[in-house]
Structure 1
Amino acid sequence: MSLDAAPHGRLSPLNRRRLANFRANRRGWWSFWIFLVLFVVTLGAEFIANDRPILVSYKGELMVPALIDYPESTFGGFLATTNYRDEFIADEISANGWVLWPPIRFSYNTVDPYVAFPGANPPSWLMSRDVVCQRYPQGLADPGCLPGNFHVLGTDGTGRDVMARLIYGFRISILFGLVLTVASSVIGVAAGALQGYFGGWVDLIAQRLIEIWTSVPALYLLLIISSVIAPGFWVLLGILLLFSWVTLVGIVRAEFLRARNFEYVTAARALGVSNRMIMWRHLLPNAMVATLTFMPFILSGSVATLTSLDFLGFGLPSGSPSLGQLLEEGKNNLEAPWLGLTGFFTISLMMTLLVFIGEAIRDAFDPRKTFR
C-alpha cells in the first residue's frame, strides 16, 4: 500500500479511491474547506486587523506600514515609532498622499482610548452611532470614527478589540497546533518504526521507558516548568513536545511489527537492501495511513491544551492574542457575556471542524470503505 502518485503526476487508483471517499463524507469535505478558508484568511491577520495602514503613499513614496516599521521622522515628526492614528500624522499623510487602512483599525494589543464606556464595551452594533462616536475628539465629524473603528464584537476589560484578538488568536492557535503535531508525529513515527522493525530487546527496553515516561503526571509537570521558565511560543512547544510524541508510537510500532516479516520485506533483505531503505520505502507508507488518520485529532488536542494553559495563566505571555486568555477575560468580566461567548463559540467551531475532518480522513484511508 503506497501513498505515492502514479507517473506523470496522475493519482494512482488507490489514491483516487481515497479522494473519492473523502469527498463522499460531505460533512468532512465542507469542514475541510471552511477550516482552510479561515486559516488562510487569518494568516494575513496584519492586513485585516491592524492599527497601522496597509499602504501609505507619501510624497510619491509607497510604504507598507503593516509589515515595516517607519519612524515618525519619515512623516515630519521626531519619535522613533509612528502613531498613524495621531491627528498630526493623519493630516500630514492626507496633505501629501493617501492611505489604505485595513477593515479593522485595531491590532490585538491596541487599546482604544475613545470607547463609549470605561471597561468592557458591548459590540458597536448594539449601540447607536452617536454613543459609539461621542467620545472621539471631534465627535461624529472625526475621520477616525468610521466603521473600521467600530468594535464588531466589543472590547475586553482593557479596551482592546475582541475581533482583532480573535483573528490573531485563531492564527497562533492553529500554527502552534500544526507545528506541535508535525514535530510530535516525526518523533513518534521514528520511535515506533525502530521499535517495531528491530523488535527484541530494542522493543522491550523502549516500551518500558515509554511506560515510565507516560506515568509521569504531565499536567503537573507542565505547570511546574511553565511557572519556572518564562512562557513563550517555543518554550511551550518544547514542553508539550516532551509528552505528545508518544501518541503515535504504539500505532506505528504495531504496523511495523505486523509487516516486518512479510514476503516482500524478506525478499528485500535477501537482495541486500539496507534496513533504512526497507523501513523508508516498504514499511513506512503502510504506517503513514494510520498516522494521517490520527493527525487531525492530535491537532485538535494540541490546540485544546494550549487554550487550557492560557486560561490557567501558564501559557503564552500576558497580553498575547490567545483564545484561552479570551476565555479568562470572559470569566473575569461576567457582566460582559460577549467575551465568554465569543471564545466558546470559536473554540467549539474549531474543534468541530477538526473532528469532522479527522472522520473524513479516517473514511478515506479505511480499506473497507468503497465509493459508489
Structure 2
Amino acid sequence: MSMFNPSPLTRRRWRNFCRNRRAYWSLILFSVIFSITLMAEFVANDKPILVQYRGEYRMPIFKFYPETAFGGDFQTEAIYRDPEVECLIVSGGLDACFDDPEGVIEDAQDGEVAGEAIEKGWTLWPIIPYSYDTAVDRPGAAPLPRNSENWLGTDDTKRDVMARVIYGFRLSVLFALIVTALSTVIGVLAGAVQGYFGGWVDLVFQRAIEIWSSTPQLYVIIILFSILPRSFWLLVGITVLFGWMALVGVVRAEFLRARNLEYVRAAKALGVGNLRIMMRHMLPNAMVATLTMLPFIITGTIALLAMLDFLGFGLPSSAPSLGELTRQAQFNLQAPWLAFTAFFTFAIMLSLLVFIFEGVRDAFDPRKTFE
C-alpha cells in the first residue's frame, strides 16, 4: 500500500489522532518550531545567506570564500560584518575601501566611485546575525541583557542566547530521535526474540540484560570521555548501548502472552515462518505497549543529554547545548534571562513531545475511537 493511498486502518488511526486536539495542535506547533530549527543556518548565522558581487551570486553559508574573492588581501575567510569587507562587496572590490570604507559605501550607493561606473553589490543577512559560537561585539561585562539584536541577551562568553537556543533545540531533538529510533529497533527485536522462543533463549537474554543493566552508565561515559574526544556520535552510541533495554521487558511480556494464542498456533500449523509470525502477526499487537513507552524514552534521552552537558560530560563545550546554558544560569544568578530561557525551552519541548506521543499511542489503541 503506497503512502498516497493509505489503508483503511492507517486512515482510522490518523482520524483518531486528529480528534485528539491537544496532540494535533502540539504536532503542528512542534513541526513549525522544529522546521525553523532545521533551517537554523538561514535563521541565525554570522554569514550572509546570499551575496551579490559583480553580477555573481554566492552563498557563504554553504561555501568558503576568502577575502581575496571580494578584492581583499587575505586568503582567510571573509569576515562579512567587517566594514571593509562590506565595502568591498558593495563597491565591487575597490582598493579605496581600505582608506575610507564608509565614504566609498556612500559613493557606491550613488553608482560611482572615483569617476568609475560600478555595479553595486549587496548582502542578504539572516534575521539573527549571529551563529551559536559567534562572539557579540558589545561593550560591558558578560552576560549582557537583551537588546534589539540579542533578543535573549548573551551568555557568559558573549554568545547570542537566541542563536544557541535555536541550534540547541535542533541538536537535542535530533539526538533524542536518533537514540530513540536505534534503541527501539534493538529493544523490540531483543524482546520479540525472548518472548517468542522462551526457554533457554529467554533465560540467557535475561541474565545478560541483568548484568548489563547493572553497569553504571555515568561512570562508563566519564571513563570513555577521559580517553576519547567528546563527540555527538560517540555520545549517541553510548546512550544506545544503555538505552535499548527500556523496551525489552514490555515487548517480551506481549510476545509471551501472544505466543500461545490460537492465531499464532494456527499460523505455525500452516507452516508460516517464525520471522513472519513475529513481525506480521505478533508485533502489531505489541505496538500499543511499545508506543506507551516512547514518550518516556524521548524525554528521558533529552534530559540525559542536558544532565551530561550540565555536569560537563556531554557534548564538546563549543556545541550549542541547552544543558550548558542551564549550567551558565546556575553560576550567573544576576542574569535571570539565562535561567528563564533554559526552563521555558525545556518545558515547551518536552510538553509538546509528550502530548504528541500520547495522541500516537491512543491512535494505535483499537479501544479508543474519539467518537
**Do they superpose with TM above 0.5?**
yes
Q: Which amino acid counterpart does residue 144 of structure 2 have in structure 1?
A: N
Instruction: Give the equivalent residue in structure 1 for 2:254.
Output: 255
Match of 1:107 among 131, 143, 154: 131
Q: Which amino acid counterpart does residue 290 of structure 1 have in structure 2?
A: A
Instruction: Give the equivalent residue in structure 2 for 1:346.
Output: 345
CA contact under 8 A between 1:121 and 1:154: conserved in structure 2? yes
CA contact under 8 A between 1:17 and 1:371: conserved in structure 2? no
Q: How does 1:19-98 map to 2 (within 5 A)?
A: 19-77=14-72, 78-96=74-92, 97-98=121-122
Give how far 1:22 is off. 1.9
CA contact under 8 A between 1:48 and 1:102: conserved in structure 2? yes
Partners of 1:66 and 1:9 lie apart in 2 by 39
CA contact under 8 A between 1:196 and 1:254: conserved in structure 2? yes
Give how far 1:218 is off. 2.4
Gaps of 5+ in 2: 93-120
CA contact under 8 A between 1:297 and 1:354: conserved in structure 2? no
Partners of 1:368 and 1:167 lie apart in 2 by 39
Instruction: Give the equivalent residue in structure 2 for 1:130.
Output: none
Partners of 1:6 and 1:68 lie apart in 2 by 38
Q: How does 1:201-240 map to 2 (within 5 A)?
A: 201-240=200-239
Match of 1:124 among 135, 147, 151: 147
Give TM-score, length-normalised by structure 2: 0.87
Partners of 1:371 and 1:348 lie apart in 2 by 27
Give how far 1:246 is off. 0.2
CA contact under 8 A between 2:44 and 2:129: conserved in structure 1? yes
Gaps of 5+ in 1: 126-149
Give how far 1:62 is off. 1.1
Partners of 1:112 and 1:184 lie apart in 2 by 39
Give how far 1:61 is off. 1.4
Partners of 2:82 and 2:198 lie apart in 1 by 68
Q: Which amino acid counterpart does residue 16 of structure 2 have in structure 1?
A: N
Instruction: Give the equivalent residue in structure 2 for 1:369.
Output: 368
Q: Which amino acid counterpart does residue 347 of structure 2 have in structure 1?
A: S
Percent identity (aligned): 57
CA contact under 8 A between 1:294 and 1:358: conserved in structure 2? no
Instruction: Give the equivalent residue in structure 2 for 1:141.
Output: none
CA contact under 8 A between 1:157 and 1:329: conserved in structure 2? yes
Give how far 1:60 is off. 1.5
- Specify the SS of the correspondent of 2:57: strand
- Specify the SS of the correspondent of 1:62: strand
Q: Which amino acid counterpart does residue 73 of structure 1 have in structure 2?
A: T
Partners of 1:294 and 1:365 lie apart in 2 by 13
Give TM-score, length-normalised by structure 1: 0.87
- Specify the SS of the correspondent of 2:122: strand
Partners of 2:346 and 2:298 lie apart in 1 by 13
Give how far 1:188 is off. 0.4
- Specify the SS of the correspondent of 2:314: coil
Instruction: Give the equivalent residue in structure 2 for 1:177.
Output: 176
Partners of 1:124 and 1:363 lie apart in 2 by 44
C-alpha change, 1:94 and 1:187, in structure 2 (3 Å) is same
CA contact under 8 A between 2:48 and 2:59: conserved in structure 1? yes
C-alpha change, 1:187 and 1:102, in structure 2 (3 Å) is same
Count of residues in correspondence between the two structures: 342
Give how far 1:319 is off. 1.8
Give how far 1:6 is off. 9.0
- Specify the SS of the correspondent of 2:184: helix
Render the CA deviation track for 1:222-257: whole Å, top value 9, x for unaligned: 333333332110111111111100011111111222
Instruction: Give the equivalent residue in structure 1 for 2:298.
Output: 299
Give how far 1:8 is off. 7.6
Q: Which amino acid counterpart does residue 34 of structure 2 have in structure 1?
A: F
Partners of 1:44 and 1:67 lie apart in 2 by 12
Partners of 2:157 and 2:207 lie apart in 1 by 50
